[in-house]
A = this chain, B = another copy of it.
Amino acid sequence: MGDPASFAHLRESQLASADLVRGSFLYARRDTVVLPDGTTAEREYVVHPGAVMVVPLILAAGEPLRVVLERQFRYPVQQVMVEFPAGKLDVGESTAACARRELHEETGYRASEWARAGVIHPVIAYSTEFIEVWFAKGLTAGERQLDRGEFLDVFTATADELLSWCLDGRVTDAKTVAAALWLQNYQAGTWVPQWVSA
């Protein structure tokens, strides 16, 4: 990993910052930065509030582990994608509250136990976005409450099916593939979630 205190030779610092564009959905900035050698450069990036992803586990005695997944058309990549439930933080919302809200709104499920797995940064070259990863269990089915203009299917698969789809190219959503690493290690007992009651 290296010692963070010794990373001064890599750091860039801000000289100036301005809006690049304020769209109705995308907000991007352009900063002028000083590079480690004292020269300057421009950095353009999307400003994002952060998001959460939920890995909802269905545990039943004598049955293989199953997970809840979504199927959704993603316009930028022009494909129907298989992914774990996820969504952006509302202003002032905690990641734990966002995880509960997104799971319920998109899938109808509520969970009785939650464990934070970690955080990932999906696009470090040009977005501030982070995604906190939460595992959920003790699921109770209910009515979902999709936003207007939101269309997605909810389905379940075994953890082994999802893992094989990640490796064979049927699942390509990076956040879902990253979550599959935690899922595989959860199944193997090499990663142990710290469950907390909701």
Contact = CB atoms under 8 A, between A and B. Distances in A.
Interface of A: 1-2, 4, 7, 9-12, 20-21, 23-26, 28, 30-31, 33, 35-37, 39, 41-46, 71-77, 79-83, 118-131, 149, 151-153, 155, 157, 163, 165-170, 172-175, 177-178, 180-182, 184-185, 190-191
A194 to B, nearest CB: 12
**At the interface, is chain A mostly helix, strand, loop or mixed?**
mixed
A75 B36 CA distance: 12
Contacts of A181: 163, 166-167, 177-178, 180-181, 184
Give 5 closest A-B pairs by Cβ, nearest first.
A21-B21, A45-B76, A177-B178, A74-B124, A26-B44
Given A24-B42, A24-B44, A174-B174, A125 B74 contact: yes
Q: How many copies does the complex hold?
A: 2
A172 B130 CA distance: 9
Contacts of A26: 20, 28, 44-46, 126
Given A75-B12, A77-B128, A77-B130, A121 B35 contact: no
A45 B76 CA distance: 6
Nearest to A72: B10
Contact of A10 (B2, B39, B152, B180): B152
